[in-house]
Structure 1
Amino acid sequence: MVWLVAASFLLNRHEASLVENIAQHIHRKLVPKLPSCTENLVGISSNVEEVHKLVGMQLNDVRFIGIWGMGGIGKSTIARAVYEAIQ
């Protein structure tokens, strides 16, 4: 199966592109897209918007945001929602 993918891409592309396409093909087979677990959450939209503003994706510099607090208050959920929004 992989050799068929390799043969089809090798005719018109560089080797680096071939390797990337094979890796993407294998990744799609091994890691299917999981449904979003951050849809329809209640009470975190303002926090997600604030973190999204802090990240400032329109800027070309590197941003690092820390989210801290007590366990169980939704830090990972907020981070996951922001990631899904900018992905």
Structure 2
Amino acid sequence: MNTVNALKIRNHFGEVLEMLDNGKEPILITKARKIRAVLIRYEDFQTRFLDKQANEERDRFFTQIKSHVLPSLINQDSVQTLRELRGYKD
């Protein structure tokens, strides 16, 4: 992983972005010899965070839909369910 100090980022941001595109790996940003941040490519950000959030949201949505289905209707025949809803007795 490449390491760049904050001063170089401030003075040569375009060059650092070129390093990021060419290296295909994150760049550690340091200030006062301490790692303060990480610069990653947008594709990596999208893969690691945005796609994960979309999948989690989709899973929550399906869980919510499944919770609204009546458990008594899941394993019944549709004809039997209609007969019960109409009040017919077997």
| Structure 1 length-normalised TM | 0.23
Larger radius of gyration: 2
Higher percent of residues as helix: 2
Q: Higher relative CO (CA 8 A, sep ≥ 6), structure 1 or 2?
A: 1
| Structure 2 length-normalised TM | 0.23
